[in-house]
Homo-oligomer: A and B are copies of this chain.
Amino acid sequence: MSRKRDIIALSPIFGGLAEAQLDQLEQISQEISFGRNAPIFWEGDEGNGFYIVASGKIKIFKLSPEGKEQILHIYGPGQPFGEVPVFAGQHFPANAQAVEKSSLLFIPRQAFIDLITAHPSLALNMLAMLSTRLRQFTVQVENLSLKEVPGRLASYLIYLSEEQNNSDTLRLPISKGQLASLLGTIPETLSRILGKMSAQGLITVQGADIYLNDRYELEELAGSGRLVE
C-alpha cells in the first residue's frame, strides 16, 4: 500500500468510505513537501483544492499590519485544512505555513466536489469536520474575549493533558513563542505567567516539559476564574 494511501486511510474525513473511493482519492491527490517555515498559502490566495497533513506540522494564522501573529489552528498528520475556499468564496481566509518539515496531500477542488456529490457519506464527514471547526472557534473566541491569559494557558494545558491520556506530565508540542501566538499574547507575557504559575505551585516547568501539580486549581482557572495573587 502506498504512502499516499496510508494517509488517506488515516484521515478522519475519509472514514467509512469504500475501497473504490479511497482508490479514487489516491489518484486525484498529489503529495507536496515543505521545509521548516515554508509558506503554503497566503490569505487572499485563490484556493483550488485543500490539503491533508501527511507528516509534520502546519499552522493557520492571521497577521496584523504591525506583524503580530494570531495562530488559529495547528494541524498534524491526518488533518485536513484549507477547505473553506473549496465550498465558499474562492480565496483563503488566513495564512498557512509549515512549522516544521512537512509533507502534504493536495486534493483538487473539482475532483473532490464530484466525489462528494456521488458519495453522501463523504459529504456528511466533511460537514462533521467543518462543524467541529466551528465548535473550536466558539471556544477560541470565548478564550480571547472572556478569559485572561492565565485562564487561556490553563485551558490549553488541560487540553494538552487530555490529548495525552490525562497524564500530568506533558511536553509542549510547539515553541513557547508559538504558544504565545496561539493564546493571543506575546512571549514576554507568557513567560511571566508561566513563572507566576510555577511560583504558586500549580505547575513545574523544565524547558518544554510541564508537570501539572494542581489540576483542580488549573481547572478553576481555565473555567475563567482568575489567577489569585
Question: Is B145 a contact of A134 with CB atoms below 8 Å?
Answer: no
Main secondary structure of the interface of A (DSSP, over half): helix
Chain B residue contacts of A117, Cβ below 8 A? 120, 123-124
CA distance A139 to B126 in the complex (A): 22
- Residue of B141, B147, B184 touching A72 (CB-CB under 8 A): B141
Interface residues of A in 101-156 (CB under 8 A from B): 113, 116-118, 120, 123-124, 126-135, 137-142, 144-147
Asked if A29 lies at the interface with its beta carbon under 8 angstroms from chain B, I say: no
- A164 nearest CB across to chain B (Å): 21
User: When the two chains form their complex, are residues A88 and B141 in contact, meaning their CB atoms are under 8 A apart?
Assistant: no
The reply on A89 being an interface residue by CB < 8 A is yes
Quick check: which of A34-42, A61-69, A196-204 contacts chain B, the rest being far away? A61-69
Contact in complex: A142, B88 (CB < 8 Å): no
Within 8 A of B (CB), among A34-73: 62-66, 68, 70, 72
Q: Are A88 and B131 in contact (CB under 8 A)?
A: yes
**Chain B min CB distance to A88 (Å):** 4
Determine the distance from Cα of A124 to Cα of B130 in the docked complex, in whole angstroms: 12
Q: Is the CB of A87 within 8 A of B146?
A: no
Query: Counting CB contacts under 8 A, is A210 at the interface?
Result: no
Q: In the bound complex, what is the Cα–Cα distance between A225 and B65 (angstroms)?
A: 8
Contacts known (A65-B224, A184-B145, A224-B64); A113 close to B123, Cβ less than 8 A:
no
User: Is A93's CB within 8 Å of the partner chain B?
Assistant: yes
Query: In the docked arrangement, what's the CA distance between A212 and B194, Å?
Result: 45
Contact of A134 among B64, B68, B113, B133 (CB under 8 A): B133
- The reply to whether A128 and B87 contact each other, CB–CB distance below 8 Å, is yes
Provide the residues of chain B in CB contact with A193, threshold 8 Å. Answer: none
- Asked if A62 contacts B142 (CB within 8 A), the reply is yes
Chain A residues engaging chain B, CB cutoff 8 angstroms: 62-66, 68, 70, 72, 83-89, 93-94, 113, 116-118, 120, 123-124, 126-135, 137-142, 144-147, 184, 223-225
Q: A70-B145, A87-B127 are in contact. List 6 more A-B contacts (CB 8 A).
A: A70-B142, A87-B130, A93-B138, A117-B120, A123-B127, A140-B141
